[in-house]
């Protein structure tokens, strides 16, 4: 038998050697080495469990735990240590290192355990800590948005529908729209985490372990909320991966939308925002260029993350119970999506902190585009005109103003009165951008008081001073 065959955990049943291409195709160590710490943590819990079940003596347990602790130190020093060992997967790597350290005793650890419940446990531990890290990064990004809102508390921008100027809003209101989305993303991750945080260990290969282990105790030892309830489900369930990727996908969509808003606002056509040199690139050909590459990559990475979610969903479709090797394909999409999401979230926070706002331009744009037309209609309503009629009247006034190439507030009182004699001198105050904002102090609206209240409440929620 070949070296490779001898090394494998399952060599006994085999006479022939593995084809080298099969090895490359089958081995997961090149990517699952990232689970080494989790595999060690799971192994520690399992060693304790089979000790309590009478499989290991106290001395054997102590020896195994010491060896596992040493292994953890090695991994901490060099997380890539397993690479190049030629082992099939991270589980084989941990076991073979143990055997190197404690000899035959290392061969006892796998008693009653399968790589099927082992890998499900490892992946849940890894996903749990990654979810917590993403939640922290979401908070950091939200804080940077609140900072931006505070730095430009009175900045007015045009609000858009159909990407046509619609009504003026405060920049802070725009910031808080994204803060809301990221709040929901955190909530979705927290919800997914509840179903991530259950412990498959003790499910064996599929039927449950034959040893008298205390599964609730194992779950507690690993910080899980509970043990899984059905061994067939426990080893074949990757819903937690799909759910986590789903939550990440939506967060990535939000990041991408924010990036798109900012990319537009950075164009010379809009000219609202300017990114600092720290987060922009130039062109190798066109000397004048400054491109928002950071934002474009945030928008671009969304595709990878959504793709990972789709890949995992389709991988599970049609899998019979229980474990199938297809499930090894869960790791790369999850690892890649987590890393992409982490980079994007951190980059977005840095970009927001490196954004300056050209308040004169945003104000001028907010005043243009007849975005106070609704307020003229509301003015007429206050004078007793039914809204549908005032809408019609203002529509005609806008057409007149367009032909004269003037904003509504630059028409004379006489010009305005041709459309409705109820219009008086007080109309000009109603058409001012400050008035358009002040009228919208409704909860959730863009009124300056409402926005400042919302900014401060977000700041408190995010633990900011």
Nearest approach, Cβ of residue 204 and ligand ARG (Å): 11
User: Cβ neighbours of residue 395 under 8 Å, at least 6 residues apart?
Assistant: none
Query: Which are the catalytic amino acids?
Result: 162, 283
Nearest approach, Cβ of residue 33 and ligand ARG (Å): 11
DSSP 445: S
**Is residue 262 a contact partner of residue 295, using CB atoms and an 8 Å limit?**
yes
Nearest approach, Cβ of residue 85 and ligand ARG (Å): 14
Nearer CB in complex with ligand ARG: 185/330: 330
* Binding positions for ligand ARG, rule: CB under 6 A: 28, 32, 89, 115-116, 119, 323, 325, 327-328
Inter-residue long-range contacts of 312-321, CB under 8 Å, 24+ positions, other chains counted? 312/238, 312/241, 312/242, 312/245, 313/242, 315/238, 316/238, 316/242, 319/236, 321/206, 321/232, 321/233, 321/236
Nearer CB in complex with ligand ARG: 24/396: 24
Nearest approach, Cβ of residue 328 and ligand ARG (Å): 4
User: Cβ neighbours of residue 197 under 8 Å, at least 6 residues apart?
Assistant: 124, 128, 223, 224, 225
Phi, psi of 422 (to 5 degrees): -75, -15
3-state SS, residue 369:
coil
d(CA 412, CA 415): 5
Query: Please, how many CA atoms are within 13 Å of residue 419, restricted to the half-sphere of its CB?
Result: 26
Nearer CB in complex with ligand ARG: 206/264: 206
Nearest approach, Cβ of residue 8 and ligand ARG (Å): 10
Which residues share a beta bridge with 277?
A: none
Nearer CB in complex with ligand ARG: 178/323: 323
Radius of gyration of the chain (CA): 31
Q: Dihedral of CA 95/98/100/105: which sign?
A: negative
Nearer CB in complex with ligand ARG: 10/387: 10
Nearer CB in complex with ligand ARG: 28/355: 28
Nearest approach, Cβ of residue 82 and ligand ARG (Å): 13
Inter-residue long-range contacts of 325-331, CB under 8 Å, 24+ positions, other chains counted? 325/26, 327/236, 327/238, 328/28, 328/32, 330/123, 330/238, 330/241, 331/28, 331/31, 331/32, 331/35, 331/123
């Amino acid at each position: 038998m070949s070296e490779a065959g001898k090394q494998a955990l399952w060599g006994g049943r085999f006479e022939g050697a593995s084809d080298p291409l099969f090895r490359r195709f089958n081995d997961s160590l090149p990517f699952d080495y990232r689970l080494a710490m989790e595999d060690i943590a799971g192994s520690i819990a399992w060693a304790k469990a089979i000790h309590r079940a009478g499989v290991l003596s106290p001395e054997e347990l102590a020896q195994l735990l010491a060896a596992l602790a040493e292994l953890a130190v090695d991994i901490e020093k060099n997380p890539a240590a397993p690479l190049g060992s030629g082992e099939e997967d991270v589980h084989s790597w941990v076991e073979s290192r143990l055997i190197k350290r404690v000899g035959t005793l290392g061969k006892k650890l796998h008693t009653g355990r399968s790589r099927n419940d082992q890998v499900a446990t490892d992946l849940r531990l890894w996903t749990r800590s990654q979810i917590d890290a993403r939640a922290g990064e979401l908070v950091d990004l939200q804080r940077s948005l609140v900072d931006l809102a505070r730095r430009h508390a009175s900045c007015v921008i045009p609000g858009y529908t159909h990407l046509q100027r619609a009504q003026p809003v405060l920049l802070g209101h725009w910031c808080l729209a994204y803060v809301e989305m990221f709040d929901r993303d955190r909530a979705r991750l927290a919800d997914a985490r509840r179903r991530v945080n259950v412990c498959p260990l003790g499910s064996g290969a599929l039927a449950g372990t034959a040893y008298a282990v205390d599964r609730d105790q194992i779950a507690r030892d690993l910080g899980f909320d509970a043990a899984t309830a059905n061994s067939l489900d426990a080893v074949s369930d990757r819903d937690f991966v799909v759910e986590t990727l789903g939550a990440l996908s939506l967060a990535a969509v939000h990041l991408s939308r924010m990036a798109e808003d900012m990319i537009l606002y950075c164009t010379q056509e809009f000219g609202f925002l300017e990114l600092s040199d720290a987060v922009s690139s130039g062109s190798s050909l066109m000397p004048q260029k400054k491109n928002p590459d950071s934002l474009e990559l945030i928008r671009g990475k969304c595709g990878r993350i959504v793709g990972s979610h789709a890949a995992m969903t389709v991988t599970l479709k049609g899998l019979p119970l229980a474990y199938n090797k297809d499930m090894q394909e869960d790791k790369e999409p999850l690892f890649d999506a987590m890393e992409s999401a982490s980079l994007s979230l951190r980059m977005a926070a840095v970009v927001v902190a490196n954004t300056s706002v050209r308040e004169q331009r945003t104000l001028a744009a907010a005043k243009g585009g007849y975005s106070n037309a609704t307020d003229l209609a509301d003015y007429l309503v206050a004078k007793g005109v039914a809204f549908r009629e005032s809408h019609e009247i203002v529509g005609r006034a806008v057409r007149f103003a367009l032909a004269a190439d003037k904003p509504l507030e630059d028409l004379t009182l006489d010009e305005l009165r041709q459309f409705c004699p109820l219009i008086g001198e007080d109309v000009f105050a109603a058409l001012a951008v400050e008035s358009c904002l002040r009228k919208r102090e409704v909860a959730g609206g863009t009124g300056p008081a409402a926005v400042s209240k919302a900014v401060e409440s977000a700041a408190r929620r995010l633990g900011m001073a």
